[in-house]
Amino acid sequence: MKEYILDTTRDIHGLYPHVHIWGFPIAAYLFLGGLAAGILLFATIYYLKGKADDMPFTVKIAPIFTFIIIMLGLVLLVFDLHHKLYVFKLFTTFRIESPMSWGAWTLVGVSIFSLMWPLSYIDDIEKYLHERGWKRLDVVTIFIRNLEHNWLIPRFMIMFFRKHRTFFAYILLVLSIILGIYTGILLSAFNAHPLWNNPILGPLFLTSGISTGSAFVMWLSNNKKERRLMSTIDMALIAIELFFIIHMIMGLQAGPEAFKLAGGLFLGGPFTVTFWVLFVGFGLVLPFILEAFELKGHHIPPALPAILVLIGGLLFRIIMVQAGQVSEYPF
Amino acid sequence: MAIEVNKCVGCADCVVACQIENNVPLGYSRDWIMEHVTGTYPVLSMHFESQRCNHCDDTPCVRTCPTGASFVAEGGIVKVTHNDCIGCGACIEACPYDARYFHPDGYVDKCTFCDHRVAEGLDPACVSVCPTTCMHFGDLDNPDSEISKLIKSRENFTLIPEAGTAPQIFYLK
């Protein structure tokens, strides 16, 4: 006789004692989405301000990475689905109430336009890379060049993108803001988790995403003026982020019981050290101080604050995804 | 649905009946028993709640579903179309009652109030097997139905009303 044990209490993996169905892939995807949004935001804003030639890396080169970043994020996202083969169902419908649905459609838009943007600058990119001696990347530009000359369509498309670049810039600007906010709103739509379900999370994620975008540009740019500007912007963004964090914790502490418990996760709870020391300390305050010293003329490698901000951004999302799932309504 | 908390002895017949009726895979359950102990020793009191999807009026799970796989069927039963579900987990995160889970086949699964039985005029499996008859099932939209009268006549509570989901399972004190 075969014996089966029937479960009469809840012991479902991932649900007990806390919901734990989203892990690193989702956090990493939210980080990559915010990063891509930040890079595109700066590229389009400075293009529209007519500073494309003053800030070549921000406007022309950095957006090359966005397509790769978004594709990586999408791979992580699909990897995390449990019913992977049905992923196309996302695109057979649009549900205005579901942030995930808009996110899916926004990502389609962003990935298409973020491919067009660098293509419209293909000549400048080639020149830039050549000047900087990044010869290995020539392979890519030569490949695209060959496509252009062998087939008429790519050339036609590139000319079309170039002609309507301002139009694309406006579209990308709007899409990048939606993408940046959406990564935060995605979490705040879940009213089962009081930590996520707070209205400041959207702006906080947007600010953090733009901050990682500026850090990325600051890290890889060779132009001193550009780096200084990005460093200043990043400092302002970090200050706003700190303000939002204090605002969030205060709001949670002033709320009903479930919200107090959620805030308590960072005030003596299991996430206190990771949040305040690793994220706020090493991911926000330390890079802020380093950037301030750098602007005052002290020699600090620009990669250091930039990498700290990037790691901090990723860590922030990991903490929020984990802590949010721990915070629940008691019943 | 209405559940008389004081009649429930926590035998978990409802859980087993559901697992058998709906062929729920081993290690998973669509309903479960929650044991509440209050007071300080030696003055203690205990009651049991048989919990499941509350088939809320204001459904966060249906709202957050990106594909429309989660939907409210006619009559107010919240269901999932398995072949529309991509297994993203949004509804699981949205449910304050943790009533949904990933089926080992990938899609999200949950209590259906045994709608196949209800369509035939039968009670859901959990209700039909309850040895203390503490569970009652019926149409809450009809003010003259037995269950509507029962809920009106007895003091009752719902689970996590503060989440704003307007749950449709009433626990009678």
The secondary structure of A10-39, three-state, reads: CCCCCCCCCCCCCCHHHHHHHHHHHHHHHH
Arithmetic mean of pLDDT, A92-104: 89
Closest residue, chain A, to B84 (C-alpha) = A89
Partner-chain contact A9 B33, CB within 8 Å:
yes
**CATH number for the segment(s) B2-172:** 3.30.70.20
> What is residue A249's three-state secondary structure?
helix
Mean pLDDT of the residues in chain A:
87
Which chain A residue shows the shortest CA-CA distance from B64? A98
Average pLDDT, chain B: 92
Q: What is the band of A7 on the pLDDT scale with cuts at 50, 70, 90?
A: very low
Whether residue A82 and residue B101 make contact (CB cut-off 8 A), yes or no, is no
Interface check for B36 against chain A (CB to CB < 8 A): the answer is no
CB B37 within 8 A of CB B44: yes
Contact across the interface for A189 and B33, Cβ inside 8 Å: no
pTM of the shown model: 0.91
For A171-195, the pLDDT digits (tens) are 999 999 999 988 888 898 888 899 9
Chain A touched by B29 (CB under 8 Å): yes
Predicted pLDDT of residue B92: 93
Between A117 and A17, residue with greater pLDDT: A117
Q: Which residues of A touch B61 (CB under 8 A)?
A: none
> Over the stretch B89-134, which tens digit does the pLDDT of each residue have?
999 999 999 999 999 999 999 999 999 999 999 999 999 999 999 9
Distance (Å) from the alpha carbon of B153 to chain A's nearest alpha carbon: 24
- Whether A238 has a pLDDT exceeding 90, the answer reads yes
Distance from CA of B67 to the nearest CA of A (A): 5
Task: Inform me whether the C-beta atom of residue B146 falls under 8 Å from chain A C-beta atoms.
Answer: no
Q: How confident is the model at residue A75 (pLDDT cuts 50, 70, 90)?
A: very high
Q: How confident is the model at residue A30, as a pLDDT?
A: 94
| B160/A contact by beta carbon, under 8 A | yes
Mean pLDDT across the stretch A5-26?
A: 77
B44 Cα to chain A: minimum distance (Å): 18
Contacts of B64 in chain A (CB under 8 A): 97-100, 189-190
Could you tell me which chain B residue has the CA closest to the CA of A98? B64
Respond yes or no on whether ipTM tops 0.85. Answer: yes
Flag whether pLDDT at B43 surpasses 50: yes
Coil, strand, or helix at residue A73?
helix
Best mutation target among B86, B130, B160, B165 (most A Cβ atoms within 10 Å) is B86
Quick one: pLDDT band at residue B2, thresholds 50, 70, 90?
very high
Determine the pLDDT at residue A17.
Answer: 79
Domain ranges of chain B: 2-172
pLDDT at A209 exceeding the cut of 90: yes
The residues that bridge with A73 in the sheet, in sequence order, are none
Q: Which amino acid is at A247?
A: H
- Interchain proximity A22–B162, CB inside 8 Å: no
- R_g of chain B, CA atoms, integer Å: 16
Name the one residue in this structure whose structure tokens are 């088939």. B55
- Using the beta-carbon criterion (under 8 Å), do B66 and A101 form an inter-chain contact? yes
Evaluate if residue A81 carries a pLDDT over 50. yes
Name every residue whose Cβ is closer than 8 Å to that of residue A174 and which is 6 or more positions away in sequence. none
Do residues A322 and A275 make contact, with C-beta atoms less than 8 angstroms apart?
A: no
Q: A138 pLDDT exceeds 80?
A: no
Chain A CB within 8 Å of residue B96 CB: yes
The number of C-beta contacts closer than 8 angstroms across A and B is: 141
- Which residues from B are below 8 Å from A79, CB to CB? none
Residue A5 exposed, middle or buried by CB count within 10 Å (0-12, 13-18, 19+): exposed
In Å, what is the CA distance from A28 to each residue of A73, A307, B53?
Answer: 7, 15, 31
| Contact residues on chain B for A258, CB-CB shorter than 8 A | 162
CA-CA-CA-CA torsion for B93, B94, B96, B98, nearest 10 degrees? -50
